[in-house]
Every structure is written in C-alpha cells, then in structure tokens.
Amino acid sequence: MIAIIPARGGSKGLPGKNIKPLLNKPLIAYTIEAAQKSKYISKIIVSTDCEKIAETAIKYGAECPYLRPKDLASDSALAIETYKFVIDKVNKEDKEQVKDFIVLQPTSPLRDTNDIDKAISMFHDKKADSVISYTPEQHPISWHKYLDEKNRFVSLFEEDVKNRQEYKISYYPNGAIYVFKYSIILNNTYYTKNSFAYIMEQNKSVDIDTIDDFEYAEFLLKKMKKS
C-alpha cells in the first residue's frame, strides 16, 4: 500500500508548521518514520508545493518526485483532488495500479505505527471502502451553539436538556489516518455504507493547526519519552 503525506507550504494558523522543529525533529518526520515502520506500507509519497518541505521529506526517507501544482496548493483547493493527482501520477509511472492507499497528515505526530497498521488491518479484514480515525467527543454535541452577530445563541439542534452522562457518546475525525479504496475517491467521497471508524485515544489525537496545538503535542511527547 502507498502512503500519501499531504504537506502544503502555506499554513496560515502556524506558518511553516510541517517542518517546524518538534523536540529537535521536523514535524513531518514523525509521520514519515511511523509510516516507514509499517508492515503494510511499501511507498511513502509527500505531496507538497514547497521545496523546503520536499528536501526535508527526502532527507527522512520519503519520496517527493514532483511539487504539487499551484491550483492544488491554494486555500480553496480540495484535499481529495490532491489524492487523485498523486494516484494518477503513480498509476502512469508504475506497472501495478493503485487500488487502495492511506493518507497520513503530518500534523498528527502522536499517531504511531501501531495505529497505522491496526487501521489498515481493519480496512482489509472488513473489506472496507474506507477506514478513518475518530476520537470520542468529551461533551455532547447538542450543547454546541451558533452565535449571531450580537452573540446571541442560535440552536444547532432541538433543545434537550439532560445530564452529560445521559447523552450517547459522539465521535469526530481526528485527522490522523485515512485508508481509502481509490474507487470511492474517484466518486468524490470519503464515506460509503461500508466505511468504518478506527478509534484513537484523545491523547494521540492532537491535530496541529496553531501554536497552542504544537506546544500541547510537545508536552505530550515529552511525557511519553519520560514514561
């Protein structure tokens, strides 16, 4: 199976985050190294529009045979179009056509090889169309509100006041792992009736978008190293 690591250069929330040193190692290196240890992954391709990210990826053992086109590197570009672009390139260059693949975002440094292999194993065992990593939500989603221009509450759902313990647990995607059949990506979807969640603990589900996320991930990694 091939792994795609999408790493755009133009981060607004935390500029340069994909190669920002996290405990003296570039952020993207954690994902590359976790993928390298997987028993299922045979090729790791970093898709980026940034030469510095490409150089860093190659240094740590990934492939980066071409830079991403500008139209796939804008704020409005859809990730799914990048996956199509990469797989199309691979299929044109390799004899064996890609039927399924895994996407590993570099902003999830706490996701490890064990998580990757368990998610891929679930994908194979269930003959799934997709397996996507999720984590439990700590608060009922019915507590969430929109706010209008005057900060008045606007309900997302019908009012249903209960104690937290009475609500059914909900889950949200943590951005760490996406295993796909290429056929569903060609249909512009991540989910079908044959899609499944790989559940990850919250302390491994940090998705770095801001400096606060980065510092929290750094704190958790230090804690892991000590233990």
**CA angle, 181 then 185 then 189, to 5°:** 110
Say whether pLDDT at 204 is over 90. yes
Predicted TM-score (pTM) of the model is 0.90
In percent, how much of the chain has pLDDT > 90? 72
Write out the H or E segment, with its range, that includes residue 106.
Answer: none
Return the minimum-mean-pLDDT range out of 5-9, 13-17, 160-164, 196-200: 160-164
Average pLDDT over residues 58-68: 94
183 versus 138: the higher-pLDDT residue is: 183
Return the minimum-mean-pLDDT range out of 27-36, 164-173, 191-200, 204-213: 164-173
Helix 51-59 × helix 27-36 angle, to 10°: 40
Average pLDDT over residues 140-147: 84
Tens of pLDDT, residues 148-198: 999 998 988 776 666 666 778 889 999 999 999 999 999 999 999 999 999
State the pLDDT at residue 165: 67
State the pLDDT at residue 164: 62
State the pLDDT at residue 76: 81
Q: Under 8 Å CB-to-CB from 205, ≥6 apart: which residues? A: 108, 110, 111, 133, 135, 174, 176
Give 19's pLDDT tier (boundaries 50, 70, 90): very high
State the pLDDT at residue 176: 97
The mean predicted confidence, pLDDT, of the chain is 91
Say whether pLDDT at 15 is over 90. no
Average pLDDT over residues 80-109: 92
At the topology level of CATH, where does 2-226 sit? Spore Coat Polysaccharide Biosynthesis Protein SpsA; Chain A (3.90.550)
State the pLDDT at residue 82: 94
Say whether pLDDT at 10 is over 90. no
DSSP-assigned beta bridge partners for residue 171? 136
State the pLDDT at residue 200: 96
Tens of pLDDT, residues 45-57: 999 999 999 999 9
Write out the H or E segment, with its range, that includes residue 93.
Answer: helix 79-93
